Amino acid sequence: METRANHLWVGFVTLGLLIALAAFIVWIARLNQGASNEYDIFYKQSVAGLANGSQVSYAGVPVGQVREIALSEEDPEFVRVRVRIRDEVPILIGTEATIQASFTGVSTILLDGARKAAPPITCETTACPEGRPVIPPGRGGFGEIVANAPLLLERLATLTEQLNVILGPENQEQLAGILENSNRLTRELADTAPALQGTLAELEVAVKEAGEALNAFEKVTLTTDELLNQEGPRMADELSKTLASANEAATSLSAMLEDARPATRALSETTLPMVEATLKDLRTTSRSLRAVTDRLEAEGAGSIVGGRPLPEYEP
């Protein structure tokens, strides 16, 4: 009986020592770990790959671990991921938690996006639906692809249907015609390439000549402008003097015409009628002399002295 009691005491003491050792180890682990804060992250996407103990990193630096994964008590569509992060890590407003998946199937949580001088995330600054401050979720590369997978598959199916319609039997003949026309057009362009090059060369020469002509015109314009600027005032002065002289000459001519008006009136009323009568007499005399001359030439001088001879009489 005494031996059995000794064994019981030994067992109790040993068990107590083991429990004390375990508590000591946990205490040492917590002492080395330091103080920490817990946060909740609510995901509306799959969290496959995450597990209790998964790493939480801030900009690539390990800062904590996943402590619990469960469905949200308020909305089962969300998955609540509770993380424990060291107290010295600044979890500020603007920080987002992104699930980083890998090809090995192990996922981690990446914290990033905090704004400088922003207040920390606490129950006073954010909501605490389940007793912990909430870090808003973010979408990383793989998570974004997974979240948008249904939309991408739908668009891919729509694109496939449209391609089937375009490449259907009823459109293959038209596509073949388009390709044939494209080949013909390509051949024609290749055949006309030398002529096109010649045309481009002529166009280049024409453009060059046009540029030279524009330069010459610009020089002429500058020369004309310079001539007008330098000689214009002198020419304008001479033209003004010429116009003044012409005005004086016109005034003198007008005065002379005023003085010649009486003589002109007498000439038109007296002299011209007399000259006209004299001219009429001269015309009459000229016609008479012309008749005498014609008669002398036709009948001789006797026609004027003895008159016209009578014709001989024959019985």
177 and 109 within one domain: no
Asked, for residue 21, whether it belongs to a domain, the answer is no
213 and 132 within one domain: no
246-273 pLDDT, tens digit per residue, is 777 777 767 766 666 666 666 566 666 6
155 and 129 within one domain: no
Over pLDDT 70: what percentage of the chain? 69
177 and 103 within one domain: no
Number of domains in the chain: 3
105 and 56 within one domain: yes
162 and 126 within one domain: no
Asked, for residue 178, whether it belongs to a domain, the answer is yes
Range of the domain at 182: 151-190
111 and 86 within one domain: yes
CA–CA separation, 101 and 48 (whole Å): 9
Asked, for residue 77, whether it belongs to a domain, the answer is yes
86 and 58 within one domain: yes
| Confidence tier at 313 by pLDDT (50, 70, 90) | very low
Asked, for residue 209, whether it belongs to a domain, the answer is yes
Query: Which one is predicted more confidently, 82 or 188?
Result: 82
CA dist 238 to 193, 232, 235, 244, 251, Å?
Answer: 64, 10, 5, 10, 20
116 and 72 within one domain: yes
CA–CA separation, 182 and 176 (whole Å): 10
Compute the average pLDDT of residues 192-212: 81
Compute the average pLDDT of residues 125-146: 77
| Confidence tier at 85 by pLDDT (50, 70, 90) | very high
SS3 of 213-279: the string is: HHHHHHHHHHHHHHHHHHHHHHHHHHHHHHHHHHHHHHHHHHHHHHHHHHHHHHHHHHHHHHHHHHH
182 and 99 within one domain: no
130 and 43 within one domain: yes
Asked, for residue 311, whether it belongs to a domain, the answer is no
Cβ proximity of 73 and 128 under 8 Å? no
Asked, for residue 180, whether it belongs to a domain, the answer is yes
| Confidence tier at 310 by pLDDT (50, 70, 90) | very low
2-31 pLDDT, tens digit per residue, is 555 566 777 777 888 888 887 777 666 554
165-199 pLDDT, tens digit per residue, is 777 777 777 777 788 888 888 887 787 777 777 78
Q: Which of 107, 140, 173 represents a domain boundary (last residue)?
A: 140
Cβ proximity of 51 and 70 under 8 Å? no
Asked, for residue 277, whether it belongs to a domain, the answer is no
Asked, for residue 265, whether it belongs to a domain, the answer is no
186 and 201 within one domain: no
Q: Which of 249, 265, 282 represents a domain boundary (last residue)?
A: 249
